[in-house]
Structure 1
Amino acid sequence: MLDCSIASGEFTPSGFQIFRKDQNCHGGGVAIAVNKNIEATEIPMQLPETEALLVELKIVNSKLLILVFYRPPSSNDPHLIPDLLELVTGIANSRKTRLIVCGDLNMPSINWAEYTVPTGDVPQALLDSVADLNLTKHIHEATYVKGNILDGVFSNVHCIKSIIVHKPLLSDHYIIDIETHLNVKDDERTERKI
């Protein structure tokens, strides 16, 4: 859980800036750590009760929006995640930029291989939203020690090169390592006369 009792320096590597939204009374808190060499700005969202954070990265000649969120397992609101996805997809489309969405879905009943759920409005609303917004799902293996896919990674365009899921260190959730196709350095050569 991430709350005001935990200083950013306790979990942020040196050379990184941290964006965070601490937990409310029911959640886990979210954070995004960005290398200080990358220009990053938090984008305010009009969903105050949602543990979600949206950050825009300026990378060479393009931009990338990254959304992280936490959905409490006790949440029965079928509109929570679909509304959030619709909001950030709209922001990404209006800015004509790439979007990566990462979050703790806490929906173990979803069969991601077949895009089905046995029962329930909440998981079905998420599946419908992912399809309606044309988001690509990138996690295909368990992200939780009990063998479920509880965490999701989605994108609106092909910008993810690879995802590696590592065994957990201090949590019951696995570590998700995402590599993108985006260059963070300007590879343009400067012409020089010798």
Structure 2
Amino acid sequence: MEWSQEYNMFYTNLEGDIGRGIILYVHESLKAEEIKVDSRFCEHLFVKLRTSRNETMLIGVIYRSPSDSSEETGRTLRNLISEVSKLNFTHHLLMGDFNYPGINWDMMTSSNIHSEEQKFLECLQDNFLFQMVNKPTRWRGTNTPSVLDLIITKDPDTVVDMELQSPLGKSDHCVIIFSYVCRVDVKKTKKKRKSYSKADYVGLKDEIKQTNWRHILGDGSENINEIWTKFRGKMEDLENKFVPTYEIGRKKNQQIPLDKETLNVIKEKNALARKYLVHKDPDVRRNYNRTRNKAGKLVRKARKKYEKNLAKEAKSNSKRIWQYINSKSKSRQGIADLCTDPRDPKSEKTDDDETKANILAYFFSSVFTKEPDGEVPQLKARNIQIQWEQRYIKEETVKKILRELKVDKSPGLDNFHPRFLMELH
């Protein structure tokens, strides 16, 4: 499971034996927080989005197991939908695998008026909800394709540009892509970064040679801090002049480069999936299976080649391989639930971030040294004189240090990039 640091991950039932698990990713530019809904139906996840100053949105992800078709499960699911649809939100969006194959969504009917499917339909109608998926989203073998994955909203005009794409891997559920129309206030700040690989180092060296450093730095009568400030100011001017900048765009997940053949096979796979949904032709299905397997084989081959090249460059470009390894990490460690009373390990635990922060702040402050009240005692002044030995810094020593700088490292306290300094030797 790849995870991008540009998204916040919300999940439930990933640990333990309860349910199949649900994950929802929300872009970091959107203000999102999880909402706990008290329900006996366990497979659900709800998140609140602050879309604009005066509007909020409720996003819910629900999974109903096909093996649990009891009346109790159906009733708890309908109660859950009724409860969240009455919550005070500007927008409501529910998604998930509901596993109701007996519903004809074009006619809004079911095969049996006393079935759980019919009760589910009535629940949506009673809560003024609209179901937007009208094409089969799941098929397997000779089974009749059916609409199992649903997108439910209160306003049908908000869900647009829906597209059903071929399943991922060997899954039998389609990938559903759609847009939700609403007002969103997203604060975008354009950040700039210097491109040291495209800098004009020839022009930089020429101007450094022509610079009258004695005039800039003085005759040495000033203290070292004043001289350093002047030197740094001049170097920053040169850096701004000869090193171009570029705007940091949206970060993209590290993707494996695919050749033209692989991209064409993936495109053919998606086309066959759409064709099968329309015609239900067994020959098209068999052709789709062959193309899907071929696409998977080509992608695995490309991934193997990409990882092999990363391994070869591990010593010269260690950051790149670690970035790839971290992108494959399946978990992100956070702060576990904490006891509300640090002195009592049996006290109730909390998962609230603010409460955790207060508990940790209290614990850390408890080990601070407690100073007595009153005035701070004054230390007696001592006159210490140290004879400063004359130091000579050779030009070759400075050049050697500059040559050995690692250009893939971050800037130090002087805020000058190693690549910028290394080019000066």
* TM-score bracket relative to the smaller structure: 0.7 to 0.9
Residue 89 (str. 1) matches residue 88 (str. 2): no
Superposed, which structure 2 residues align to 1:1-194 within 5 Å? 10-22=1-13, 25=17, 27-61=19-53, 62-75=55-68, 76-77=70-71, 78-91=74-87, 95-119=88-112, 121-146=115-140, 147-157=145-155, 158-170=157-169, 171-185=171-185
TM-score normalised according to structure 1 size:
0.82
The aligned counterpart of 2:377 is none
The residue type equivalent to 1:105 in the other structure is F
Shift, 1:73, TM fit:
0.4
Deviations 1:146-170 (A, max 9, x none): 4210011010124222321111113
> Higher mean Cα deviation, 159-168 or 99-108?
159-168
Contact 2:22 2:45 in 1 (8 A): yes
Shift, 1:183, TM fit:
4.0
Shift, 1:82, TM fit:
1.2
Contact 2:41 2:76 in 1 (8 A): no
Output the CA distance in 2 between the equivalents of 1:160 and 1:173: 20
The residue type equivalent to 2:99 in the other structure is N
Shift, 1:65, TM fit:
0.5
Output the CA distance in 1 between the equivalents of 2:56 and 2:17: 33
Contact 1:26 1:72 in 2 (8 A): no
- Sequence identity (%): 25
Shift, 1:28, TM fit:
2.1
Contact 2:48 2:56 in 1 (8 A): yes
Shift, 1:49, TM fit:
4.2
Contact 1:105 1:150 in 2 (8 A): yes
The structure whose RCO (Cα within 8 Å, separation 6+) is larger is 1
Contact 1:166 1:175 in 2 (8 A): yes
The aligned counterpart of 1:191 is none
Deviations 1:74-102 (A, max 9, x none): 222331321121011011xxx24210010
Shift, 1:116, TM fit:
1.6
The residue type equivalent to 1:148 in the other structure is S
Which structure 2 residue ranges, 5 or more long, are not aligned? 188-425
Structure (1 or 2) with the greater helix fraction: 2
Deviations 1:135-155 (A, max 9, x none): 011101111124210011010
Output the CA distance in 1 between the equivalents of 2:120 and 2:3: 31
The aligned counterpart of 2:360 is none
Q: Secondary structure at the match of 1:79?
A: helix
Shift, 1:186, TM fit:
5.1
Please tell me whether Structure 1 or Structure 2 has the larger radius of gyration of its CA atoms. 2
Structure (1 or 2) with the greater strand fraction: 1
The residue type equivalent to 1:110 in the other structure is I
Contact 2:85 2:127 in 1 (8 A): yes
The aligned counterpart of 1:7 is none
TM-score normalised according to structure 2 size:
0.39
